[in-house]
Amino acid sequence: MVFGIRPIEIFDKNLNNSIDPTEGNTLTTQVEMLEPMNDVVNCYLAAGRHQIVVSIDADTKADYAQPLEVVFDLEKSHLFDADTELAIYSADLNSFDAKLIDATLTNLESARKRAPGDGKRIASRCHQVCTY
């Protein structure tokens, strides 16, 4: 499964924004590059092995090679099947595609059999997300 969200739907936790930070929507990242663009700054962030691009207000105090806590507007998020790239879930539509979820969970179960530790953790986490 692939999590998708637009860069403008991720916010600097230290700035006033419309999304209240919670444990479930906040992530600590590392700033890799900053690109000032007038009223916004495009920030290229690292979170573990994942790369994240965010467009945040130019008032940010984000600095190169420093941590930055970001807040995701999960109401604007999507889940995609990694193989087909089809949308499984769209928060803004508040809808699931049950057939794609079943197929994705089946694929994750197969992955778990090939790599027991990681596949089980991923399938469990996917099931928690998909059953909300």
58 shares its domain with 97:
no
Is residue 14 within 8 A of residue 60, CB to CB? The reply is yes
Q: Examine the fold and report which residue of 59, 75, 91 is the final residue of a domain before the chain moves on.
A: 75
79 secondary structure, DSSP code:
E
Q: Examine the fold and report which residue of 30, 47, 75 is the final residue of a domain before the chain moves on.
A: 75
98 shares its domain with 121:
yes
Domain count for the chain: 2
50 shares its domain with 98:
no
pLDDT attached to residue 121 = 40
37 shares its domain with 65:
yes
Please state at what angle helix 116-130 crosses helix 98-114, rounded to 10 degrees: 160
pLDDT attached to residue 124 = 37
Calpha distance 15→51 (Å, rounded): 22
54 shares its domain with 71:
yes
94 shares its domain with 107:
yes
The amino acid at residue 71 is V
pLDDT tens per residue across span 74-102: 989 888 888 888 888 776 555 554 555 55
39 shares its domain with 7:
yes
Radius of gyration of the chain (CA): 16
43 shares its domain with 83:
no
86 shares its domain with 51:
no
pLDDT attached to residue 132 = 28
Sites in the chain below the pLDDT cut of 50? 97, 116-132
The pTM of the whole model exceeds 0.75: no
The amino acid at residue 92 is D
pLDDT attached to residue 106 = 58
6 shares its domain with 63:
yes
Specify the CATH number for the domain of residue 11.
2.40.50.140
Calpha distance 39→17 (Å, rounded): 15
Query: Which residue is listed with tokens 């970001």?
Result: 70
7 shares its domain with 25:
yes
Domain housing 11: 2-75
Strand pairing class (95-96; 87-90): antiparallel
7 shares its domain with 56:
yes
Half-sphere exposure of 27 (CA within 13 A, CB side): 17
Chain centre to alpha carbon of residue 58 = 22
Is residue 54 within 8 A of residue 60, CB to CB? The reply is no
